[in-house]
Structure 1
Amino acid sequence: MDVEQLLRGANLRVTRPRVAVLHALHDSPHADTGTVIEAVRGRHTSVSHQAVYDCLHALTDAGLVRRIQPTGSVARYELSLDDNHHHAVCRVCGSITDVACATGEAPCLHAADPKGFAVDEAEVIYWGLCPNCQEPTATQNEKGRR
């Protein structure tokens, strides 16, 4: 991933904090702010928390980063790769994973009556249990049947 090219293509200055934030999100998709700060400070100990927040805001505004915030969760960030995907969120542990587009062409879902809106994007979040959290539930259910 050529982060300098990405930044220049979005008309943003190439700075150490911005480069570090993009690398952090490449290494940890769906990272919360704390995880991004930890990764950035691992590369550049002198980068402040505020600098990371400012970078996330600028990168999101420029369309290089996507901010997602499932209900009841802190904001998470991922690289915006124009791949038109949605997310599945585990109700137990809060893990998030990418899932392919629901159906149809971008923006994936077509509103039956958008009330005059020119819809150009749809965000879908699937809720359930991740594979790791299903295992204890299945085990508990089996014990309850005995």
Structure 2
Amino acid sequence: MPSDLEPLLRGAGLRITAGRLAVLEVLEAMPHSDAESIHRALDAAGHRLTLQAVHNVLGDLTQGGLLRRIEPARSAARYERRIGDNHHHAVCTACGAVADIDCVVGHSPCLTPSDSGGFEIQTAEVTFWGLCPGCRAHRNTEGAPPA
């Protein structure tokens, strides 16, 4: 039975492979995952891709415009399927959880710099840092967020 993801791959000019479909499915369930987390999820589901193969698939899917790669400071690159809307992210400083934050203005690029340095600005990427709800709750009951 064909997957609803197959037209996405075709539209991006990518071959349909079991690995690509599996990675897209994992990222649907686990947005903002890094390659190692995706690899563990695939392994647990019975997919036999090496970590290097996962990296290759992530690169292909990102280059094909099907994934967005984000690189929070002090963190491995993470990937998500939510693309094309120039949303931002909040990262927990205690546990590293990542959440989507909708555009702060509502239209791309979401921010207008005071001086673009001659660049034609097309997108803006903002990362908000703080404590996620779980770490805040833990701090309030235990006195400090979990490490």
Same fold (TM over 0.5): yes
Higher mean alpha-carbon deviation, 84-93 vs 130-139, is at 130-139
Q: What's the TM-score, normalizing by structure 2? A: 0.88
More divergent stretch after superposition (103-112 vs 91-100): 103-112
Aligned partner of 2:93 in structure 1 is 91
Whichever residue aligns with residue 123 of structure 1, its letter is E
Listed as ranges, the matches of 1:52-63 within 5 Å are 52-63=54-65
Larger Rg: 1
Instruction: Determine the structure 2 residue equivalent to 1:64.
Output: 66
- 1:41 Cα deviation from its structure 2 partner: 2.5
Distance 1:32 1:114 in 2: 32
Q: Is 1:3 matched up with 2:5?
A: yes
SS at match of 1:71: coil
> Is the contact made by 1:26 and 1:79 (CA closer than 8 Å) also made in structure 2?
yes
TM-superposed CA distance for 1:104, in Å, is 4.5
Gaps of 5+ in 2: none
Q: C-alpha separation between the residues in 1 aligned to 2:110 and 2:96?
A: 24
Give the SS at the match of 1:135.
helix
Aligned to 1:81: 83
> Conserved in 1, the CA contact under 8 Å of 2:42 and 2:48?
no
Cα deviation, residue 82, structure 1: 1.9
Listed as ranges, the gaps of 5+ residues in structure 1 are 142-146
Q: Over aligned residues, Cα RMSD in angstroms?
A: 1.7
Alpha-carbon distance in structure 2 between the residues aligned to 1:48 and 1:73: 21
Helix, strand or coil: the match of 2:65? coil
Pair 1:37-2:39 in alignment:
yes
2:26 equivalent among 24, 36, 48: 24
- Cα separation, 2, equivalents of 1:7 and 1:80: 15
By how many angstroms is 1:94 displaced?
0.7
Kept in 2, the 8 Å contact 1:63–1:80? The answer is no
Name 1:14's counterpart in structure 2: 16
Q: Which has the higher helix share?
A: 1
| Structure 1 length-normalised TM | 0.89
Number of aligned residue pairs: give it: 141
Alignment partners' CA distance in 2, 1:64 and 1:56 = 9
Cα distance, 1:88 vs structure 2: 0.5
Deviation of 1:50 after TM superposition, in Å, equals 1.6
Structure-2 separation of matches of 1:43 and 1:96: 23
- In the other structure, the counterpart of 1:144 is none
The CA distance in 2 between the partners of 1:109 and 1:86, in whole Å, is: 11
